[in-house]
Chain A
Amino acid sequence: GESVGLHLPTLSVQEGDNSIINCAYSNSASDYFIWYKQESGKGPQFIIDIRSNMDKRQGQRVTVLLNKTVKHLSLQIAATQPGDSAVYFCAEKGADTGRRALTFGSGTRLQVQP
């Protein structure tokens, strides 16, 4: 999901369910993508990353899928826990020489109901 201004899209799931958070990116030249988790009052925390030469990468309870054809990235969280409640941002890095800065998406709020 994408947000406009202050209205973050919210995904509400039950504890133990799987969560899927989506992100559309804009730069077809981006070669590196990251998912960050941000809890209230804290800085972004790295979850998982993927390079553009891959379409899937798995971590502990998380999987990132990359579809370059439609410029879409998703984060799957298995067996969602209350501690997963946070805002999730995707970020991309361009492949342009010297372009090392990250461009962040608008974020999705994940609420896990116990």
Chain B
Amino acid sequence: EPEVTQTPSHQVTQMGQEVILRCVPISNHLYFYWYRQILGQKVEFLVSFYNNEISEKSEIFDDQFSVERPDGSNFTLKIRSTKLEDSAMYFCASRDRGDEQFFGPGTRLTVL
């Protein structure tokens, strides 16, 4: 069964450093998402991406964040200058023309 994959599973970085989280959505999907989940809290929407552009973003997704689909398979989230409060699980999701979003296993980001 096709699935969303994410790498790395755990990323540790120093405050102020740039990180890139990578996702490979399901191959025939058209819509891509990033969510984050701070430990013990609810999953929060960050950004959605369709047709090579951002279609929606939340207040969390400020100028420190960017997304890119550099080729036909990868979807990346970049955090330019990480802060302690960026520590969280980051989930990528994708969907086709239906409503169901399929989530990846997540990347745990730890900012020291």
Q: Is B2 positioned at the interface, with any CB of A under 8 Å from its CB?
A: no
Q: How far is the CB of B101 from chain A (nearest CB, A)?
A: 6
Q: How far is the CB of B12 from chain A (nearest CB, A)?
A: 16
Binding site for B on A (CB under 8 A): 3, 5-6, 8, 32, 34, 36, 41-46, 49, 89, 91, 93, 98-107
Chain B residue with minimal CB distance to A96?
B56
Binding site for A on B (CB under 8 A): 4, 31, 33, 35, 39-45, 48, 55-56, 58, 91, 93, 99-106
Q: Contact at B58–A101, with CB atoms within 8 Å? A: yes
How would you classify the secondary structure of chain A's contact residues: helix, strand, loop or mixed?
Answer: loop
> CB within 8 A of A43: which of B42, B55, B103?
B103
**CA of A104 to CA of B42, assembled, Å:** 6
Chain A residue with minimal CB distance to B33?
A101
**CA of A112 to CA of B43, assembled, Å:** 23
Q: How far is the CB of A88 from chain B (nearest CB, A)?
A: 12
Residues on A with beta carbons closer than 8 Å to the beta carbon of B40:
5-6, 8
Residues on B with beta carbons closer than 8 Å to the beta carbon of A36:
103
> CB within 8 A of A98: which of B41, B55, B91, B102?
B55
Q: How far is the CB of A108 from chain B (nearest CB, A)?
A: 11
Q: Contact at B44–A43, with CB atoms within 8 Å? A: no
**CA of A103 to CA of B93, assembled, Å:** 14
Ordered by A's residue number, 19 sampled pairs between the chains whose C-beta atoms are within 8 Å are: A6-B39, A6-B40, A6-B41, A8-B40, A34-B99, A36-B103, A41-B105, A43-B91, A43-B103, A44-B91, A46-B102, A98-B56, A101-B33, A101-B56, A102-B35, A102-B43, A102-B101, A103-B45, A106-B41
